[in-house]
Structure 1
Amino acid sequence: MGRILAVCASPARGTEKRRVGAGRFTPEWGLVGDAHGGDWHRQVSLLSAEKIKAFNARGAGVEYGAFGENLVVEGVDLRALPVGTRMRCGQVLLELTQIGKECHSHCAIHQRMGECIMPREGVFARVVEGGDLAEGDVLTVEPRFGGRPYRAAVITLSDQGAAGRREDRSGPAIAARLEASGYEIIERLLLPDGLEPLRGQLIRLCDQRQPDLILTTGGTGFSPRDVTPEATLAVAERQAPGIAEAIRAHSLSITPRAMLSRGVSVLRGGTLIVNLPGSVKAVEESLDCFLEVLPHGLEVLRGEAVDCGMSRMEG
């Protein structure tokens, strides 16, 4: 349980947020009157008051709102909450959608202090239920809830596709299969082949947006530009080789060329990453192999089920 110390807004992008005392929050926008709202996942930004206090103890002298936060919350370590956490404040229900953010340009705070805590400590939320919220209101973190949809991101790797010279058919095919199985698609990306673009996006997605699943398509062959497995292994914290092995075994029953696929499957934090081949046909065959089995693994990864070979009593 925490308390709202400040409600802040800025009338135009590129301007510092100022305390407004109270505001109306809507699912269509976020904080009404704040220029950074909109129909997207980062409607409302939040920062823990304790992190601001510690930063100011170093001589920063930063006022509430200066980091770009809409809400300053006392008594809750927002950075420690997982994506998907819901927070109730009166009529307003917020759902955490992202942890931290990329900093593309250094703000005045960073230039003066050598760092800014918002990229590391700030969190973002969308408005699930709207209403009025004011300074002094109590904010309650709701218990983790099971049964929520699995969240997934789909990444297509293709030099030709990223350059607009070839239609991406595999990415949409994956997204359609996932949506038909009840998954929520939070992002779809089309990237050129290469190590760094994919590595950077995998880190951002896993660490900030925390989907349950990321499926990549393309870049798993023998071409010098096919480095999807290497980029995936570069961000891995744990191995989950059985899925990639099962895909190859299943595909080998259809074509001997399946032995040439180098796709891997790994874990980073609470996210499973699986490399799929590039063609629509091979993508569909791969999904046929593992999609029905996947929910149990994702439940275990979420901590909502016991591990595969263990009884509930043993867990």
Structure 2
Amino acid sequence: MGEIRALCISEKRGTAKQATDRAFFITEYGIDGDAHAGDWHRQVSLLGLGEIEDFRARGADVAFGAFGENVVAEGFRFKELPVGTRLRVGQVFFEITQIGKKCHSHCEIFHRVGDCIMPREGVFARVLHGGWVTVGDTLEITTEKIPLDAAVITASDKGSRGEREDASGAAIREILTAEGYEVAGYSIMPDEREELEREMRLWSDRGVGLILTTGGTGFSVRDVTPEATRAVIDREAPGIAEAMRALSMKVTPRAMLSRATAGLRKRSLIVNLPGSEKAVRECLGFI
């Protein structure tokens, strides 16, 4: 078990990173705002405090982030951990993917002091589950299962104005929690397409695996949730909505009036659910 001593970010590769007190890690991406984040195996770099202090003891005045490391932790010599080791900081999970690296072009610190410990002492990891990390947090090796996460978006003009209780949104959160999901976000939005699109993108960009909407799937001119969903998804998953409609038809023929859709954006599955609590419970039971 160890402690996070520094978190560092840079906007450009090949330069020293700047220390920050807090950073947001995005699932399967890396640190929000960091140049090395992306859909690859070296999303985050980690370096032990002991290795940095040994380097400083040789007379080099280096700040945290000078070696291009994202995370500095006390209590670990990371290169001794095998590839595949999982680490946890609060709700954030890392998996080590590479030990050290070969430098093809020397970084800023090498040109300044003639050496860089990152290639031989540092390790790289991908983010299995994202969230906030703060300097001082505890870092530990873990074998725990990666938590499932979800966000709930209620589309309701009256609900957004506080004129109607959001029973359907509450039901979704209750069911998700019972199924072992962590509800990472919940919002009540007016039936405005641009606002709904923005909220879906927000949670998708944060790496949330499941985004469930409720409301706005009918024939009213204000019902725009399916249109907002189609605008943000990369690929449709029509079978989900088709299954909900087909099974709901056995309960009520009015299910044919649902325009709900479903699809994938990046690593997020977005599913439209009906607006009533009863229908929400039925549809979640079907899928």
1:181 aligns with 2:147: no
Correspondent of 1:152 among 150, 174, 193 = 150
- Taking the aligned partners of 1:229 and 1:85, their CA distance within structure 2 comes to 36
Correspondent of 2:38 among 66, 75, 80 = 80
SS of 1:53 mapped into structure 2: coil
Q: Which amino acid aligns with 1:79?
A: A
8 A Cα contact 2:212 2:271, kept in partner = yes
How large is the RMSD of aligned CA atoms in angstroms?
Answer: 3.7
Partner of 1:242: 239
Q: Which amino acid aligns with 1:289?
A: F
Correspondent of 2:228 among 228, 231, 248 = 231
- Taking the aligned partners of 2:250 and 2:138, their CA distance within structure 1 comes to 56
1:70 aligns with 2:21: yes
C-alpha deviation, 1:288, in angstroms: 0.7
Partner of 2:74: 90
SS of 1:223 mapped into structure 2: coil
SS of 2:15 mapped into structure 1: helix
1:164 aligns with 2:162: yes
8 A Cα contact 1:47 1:71, kept in partner = no
After superposition, the Cα gap between the structure-2 partners of 1:49 and 1:243, relative to the gap in structure 1 and judged at 3 Å, is closer
- Taking the aligned partners of 2:189 and 2:44, their CA distance within structure 1 comes to 30
- Taking the aligned partners of 2:272 and 2:167, their CA distance within structure 1 comes to 16
Partner of 1:126: 133
- TM-score using structure 2 length: 0.60
1:191-270 map, 5 Å: 191-207=189-205, 209-270=206-267
Q: Which amino acid aligns with 2:38?
A: A
8 A Cα contact 1:248 1:258, kept in partner = yes
- Report % sequence identity: 43
After superposition, the Cα gap between the structure-2 partners of 1:71 and 1:279, relative to the gap in structure 1 and judged at 3 Å, is closer
After superposition, the Cα gap between the structure-2 partners of 1:71 and 1:253, relative to the gap in structure 1 and judged at 3 Å, is closer
Structure 1 gap ranges (5+) = 1-23, 26-30, 32-43, 55-62, 98-122, 133-139, 291-315
Q: Quick check: which has more Rg, 1 or 2? A: 2
After superposition, the Cα gap between the structure-2 partners of 1:71 and 1:193, relative to the gap in structure 1 and judged at 3 Å, is closer
8 A Cα contact 2:217 2:224, kept in partner = yes
- Taking the aligned partners of 1:281 and 1:86, their CA distance within structure 2 comes to 47
- Taking the aligned partners of 1:45 and 1:199, their CA distance within structure 2 comes to 31
Give the ranges of 4+ consecutive aligned residues of structure 1 lying more than 6 Å apart after TM superposition: 84-88
SS of 2:239 mapped into structure 1: helix
After superposition, the Cα gap between the structure-2 partners of 1:283 and 1:80, relative to the gap in structure 1 and judged at 3 Å, is same
